[in-house]
């Protein structure tokens, strides 16, 4: 989805914050099991109770909050940005694993 967040401005490709936010929202919809398509497709019913539903909601929230984080990394060198994103993912995975063990 990150391929489709740019448009031409003054002849150069530039990331558009609105498209970045839209793609993050679409990822959140897919994470919750909702349909994002122009063609009507009957989705399977997502889980509504229990650990699986809570896990999917956590993934959707993480995807929806990733866009501002990526925008904040716009002026940071690539290697530092990758290191920060990897560190954030490691913290999120650790939190989710600890929460799953506690349940």
Q: Whole-angstrom distance between the N-terminal and C-terminal Cα of the chain? A: 32
Give the chain's domain count: 1
Task: Give, to the nearest 10 degrees, the angle between helix 78-102 and helix 50-72.
Answer: 160
Per-residue pLDDT, 91: 92
Per-residue pLDDT, 103: 63
Per-residue pLDDT, 42: 66
Give the range of the structural domain holding residue 86, as residue numbers without chain letter.
2-102
**pLDDT tens digits for range 28-84:** 777 777 765 555 656 666 666 777 777 777 787 877 777 677 667 677 787 887 888
Q: What is the mean pLDDT of residues 2-10?
A: 79
């Amino acid at each position: 989805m990150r391929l489709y967040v740019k448009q031409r401005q003054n002849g150069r490709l530039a990331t558009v914050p609105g498209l970045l936010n839209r793609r993050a929202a679409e990822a959140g919809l897919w994470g919750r099991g909702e349909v994002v398509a122009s063609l009507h497709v009957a989705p399977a019913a997502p889980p509504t109770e229990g650990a699986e539903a809570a896990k999917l909601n956590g993934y959707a929230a993480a995807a929806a909050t990733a866009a501002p984080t990526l925008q904040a990394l716009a002026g940071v060198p690539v290697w530092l940005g990758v290191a920060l994103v990897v560190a954030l993912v490691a913290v999120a995975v650790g939190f989710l694993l600890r929460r799953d063990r506690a349940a």
